[in-house]
Amino acid sequence: MSDISVLPDSGQGSAFSYSIGYRPSFAVAQLSLAPERSIKCEAGAMVGMSANIDIESKMEGGLWGALKRGVGGRSAFVSTFTARGGAGELILAPAAPGDVVALNLINEQFNIAASSWLASDSSLDVDTGWGGARGFFASDSLFILQVRGTGVQFVTSFGALHQRALNPGEQYVVDTGHVVAWHAQMPYKVRKVTKSMFRSLTSGEVLVAEFTGPGTLLMQTRNLAAFAGAIVPYLPQSHNSTG
């Protein structure tokens, strides 16, 4: 099994060319869509676009497909951007600061944390699957996104992206809040970091995902939930006044 193929900061998809700037802290993806070509994107990801770009949002796959996307941490609607009457420019960015990378899928499947999915080549099939009974990954969801086919897939991270290739039979443990994407053929299990829940809580790592190679993992260098918890003491506190 080959490593996840992370493409350069500029390149060509089946329907567009692209470049990625401001990496790794505040990355944006700039796409040049060929005339009448489309790309599917996360709702709210658009930063700017040419006036000739047409947007269509619909419940792909019907009500059941929309429900699966909703429980997977995505919007119930899929936004499709299409260049009409000529080439068009589209700029995309994730909601949180961090990196954007383009993955090259060649007749294969990756699993992606729902919050890490930014956009897919129109040639790729994106579905929602069961991730684990306890809920995990960067999106803190019970469900994951399954992307299959041949084309370019854009994923995002909070912080930078770190790649780790596993040899056949090699096991590797990752904090669930840092998992972004992995080869779908890799078996994994979600467990407490220690046998004791008290020790897991005091270690600061409660749930982890244990993967078995061969395959490749993409991990984000920061955990959004942990970051949110770290800034809570510095937020203004509301006080109820009594008179």
- Give the tens place of pLDDT for each residue, 103-147: 999 999 999 988 899 999 989 998 877 665 444 454 455 678 889
Q: Where are the alpha helices (DSSP H) in 121-223?
A: 197-203
- pLDDT, averaged across the chain: 82
Q: Tell me what the mean pLDDT of segment 66-80 comes to.
A: 60
- Which domains does the chain show, CATH number per domain? 10-230 (3.60.160.10)
More confident residue, 30 or 192: 30
pLDDT of residue 218: 94
- 3-class DSSP state of 131: coil
pLDDT of residue 133: 46
H/E element, 231: helix 224-231
Q: How far apart are CA 73 and CA 40, in angstroms?
A: 16
- Residue 133, exposed/middle/buried by CB under 10 A (0-12, 13-18, 19+)? exposed
Task: Give 35-89 as a DSSP string.
Answer: TT-EEEE-TT-EEEE-TTEEEEEE-TTHHHHHHHHHHTTS-SSEEEEEE-SS-EE
More confident residue, 57 or 160: 160
pLDDT of residue 227: 67
Q: Tell me what the mean pLDDT of segment 28-52 comes to.
A: 94
pLDDT band at residue 200 using 50, 70 and 90 as cut-offs: very low
Q: Tell me what the mean pLDDT of segment 168-181 comes to.
A: 93
CB distance 180 to 216 below 8 Å: no
pLDDT above 70: residue 30: yes
pLDDT above 50: residue 202: no
Number of other residues whose CB lies within 10 A of the CB of residue 167: 9
What's this model's pTM, rounded to 2 decimal places? Answer: 0.82
pLDDT of residue 153: 95
